[in-house]
Amino acid sequence: MKKTTFILICLLTSMFSCDVGEENDRPSNANIQELNVSHDLEEHHEQITDTWGECDESHVTNTLFSTINNATENGDTIVIQPGTYWGAGTIFDKHNLTLDFSNVRLLTKHDETLFKIQQCSNIHIHGLTIYHDPKLAGCFTNCFDVDFSHNISFSNCDINGSGFIGICINQCSDIQVKECKIHECQYGIFVWGNNADYNVKHFESSNVVISNCIFEQNRAGNVCFDSNYARATHFNIKVDAWDFLINSGNMMHFLTDDIHYEVAPNNPDPFLSDEITILSSSTFSAGELGPNIENMTWFGLFRNDLDSSIHCYNTKLNTKPIHDPMSDDDGETSGVQISYEGHDTNPILLISGLKMPDDVIIESYSILKNKLMPGESMQLGSCMIKASGNNENGYVTDYQLTITGEKNGVKIEQIFLEQAHFDDSMIYFKWAGDIDQDGFPDLYLDISPKYSFSNPALYLSSKADADKLIKLVAETQVFGC
């Protein structure tokens, strides 16, 4: 049976002058996620400012954290006696607890991480005011460290780093931050994998949800992350209505601080039509293009030359006749050249039937093998692509490409391409990334078995059946001009 435990700690006489009035906003066991809380932080800030000279640090927090760590009833709500506590502590290997810190302040004058949560799950922190002394110079520690934990949530907390990080999230899954004020930090919320061991992934994905929070005066950024972790682990950050797919290429978009937060959003719900068309070249022979391409809206994948990131823009096409050396006599212009409104460079790919906002950065797999011979493989995100077949003196027959990954908790192995033989050609991976932003790779390949033409093809994961990982949605043949 769930119960509520009250932690009553006998505070030193010098600390009673630092207590604040008790408020009746404690969460209940039955309805912990439906708190109607609001920010009442400015009054607390003034009280804390007056506190630094009055209170001396003590070992009261040792008793506080020992009591929490000795809690035996999973599922309990533990209500901490209101007051001001000095020092730092850790909760370790605790599960299924709500910690109600309403009208509780945890303060320190030292350069120390105040509250560590390690190897825990289903822990809810409510109502805590947590501060480093604003007078600390060169503070390099955090308010909260959350390490190797799952489903940790914070609500109605006032978090003042006065130094490095407000909430540091290291190798965790499913972190929620709701109706908190995070301010005067170097980084408000930082998501990372310890640089010493980020390749040892404890979680396959990491999701951070931030809602109705206030960010102020965080010097480097409000929501930031380690690019090494982005390369090693798939994770999402959701800020209010925006859902951001994080990758090592868009890190700099999270290092800004404009009013509350300024980020470059990815569209959480790209529109994909049932009829998708692709174009992969800028020149065509007569008859290769449909008559209505100039009336269609196209979505282009353009490579940024500075950092090789893939930016996507909506564009219109313009055409003009050009000489086709394959079929034209001198002076004839039966070929077609296309240009892209607003863009001087050619895109990697043009897609019709896909709608997204302009200047969205698409996650792109930088380590991509262009060809897979039988017996070779490559890892793309959480999926593995393997090639099989016969290879006798460079002549490949009975070729297959298989993609393997986990979807909805089920391991799926799908053969998505088969080719009996090739005529001086080979399947060529032109690009791979996550166009539809669902966490699974999308593939852009040339699947032509013959040297005399190319056969660009687009495979999208979001169009796949429930028991498949990707689906061929569009292809075209280009003979060139």
How is 172-221 classified by DSSP, letter by letter? -EEEEEES-EEES-SEEEEEE--TTTTTS-S-SEEEEEEES-EEE--SSE
Comparing CA positions, the residue from 440, 433, 456 lying closest to residue 309 is 433
Q: What is the mean pLDDT of residues 451-467?
A: 91
Instruction: Tell whether the model's pLDDT for residue 130 goes beyond 60.
Output: yes
Instruction: Tell whether the model's pLDDT for residue 256 goes beyond 80.
Output: no
Per-residue pLDDT at 427: 95
Per-residue pLDDT at 117: 95
Instruction: Tell whether the model's pLDDT for residue 421 goes beyond 90.
Output: yes
Predicted structure pTM score: 0.49
Give residues with Cβ within 8 angstroms of 341, minimum separation 6.
315, 316, 317, 318
Per-residue pLDDT at 367: 78
Give residues with Cβ within 8 angstroms of 34, minimum separation 6.
none
Q: Give the tokens for residue 108.
A: 């320190």
Comparing CA positions, the residue from 402, 428, 430 lying closest to residue 417 is 402
Per-residue pLDDT at 51: 56
Share of the chain above pLDDT 90, in %: 26
Q: Is the separation of the CB atoms in 423 and 437 below 8 Å?
A: no
Q: What is the mean pLDDT of residues 76-101?
A: 88
260: confidence class by pLDDT, cuts 50, 70, 90: very low
Per-residue pLDDT tens for 173-225? 889 999 999 998 888 898 876 655 545 555 556 778 888 888 888 887 788 87
> CATH 2.160.20 spans which residues of the chain?
4-254
Q: What is the mean pLDDT of residues 271-290?
A: 78
Give the mean pLDDT of the chain.
76
Cα dihedral 99/164/177/202 (nearest 10): -90
How many Cβ atoms sit within 10 Å of the Cβ of residue 310?
Answer: 22
Per-residue pLDDT tens for 51-78? 555 554 444 566 778 878 877 656 678 8
Per-residue pLDDT at 197: 54
Give residues with Cβ within 8 angstroms of 388, minimum separation 6.
374, 375, 399, 400, 402
100: confidence class by pLDDT, cuts 50, 70, 90: very high
Per-residue pLDDT tens for 30-57? 322 222 223 333 344 445 555 555 554 4
Give residues with Cβ within 8 angstroms of 201, minimum separation 6.
171, 193, 232, 233
Per-residue pLDDT at 102: 92
Residues facing 402 on adjacent strands: 386, 415
Per-residue pLDDT at 155: 93
Domain 4-254, CATH = 2.160.20
* Strands 317-322 vs 271-279: parallel, antiparallel or unpaired: unpaired
Q: Buried b vs exposed e over 59-87: b needs ≥16 C-beta within 10 Å? A: ebbeebbeebeeeeeeebbbbbbbbbbbb
Per-residue pLDDT at 60: 57
Per-residue pLDDT at 385: 95
Between CA 407 and CA 252 the distance in angstroms is: 30
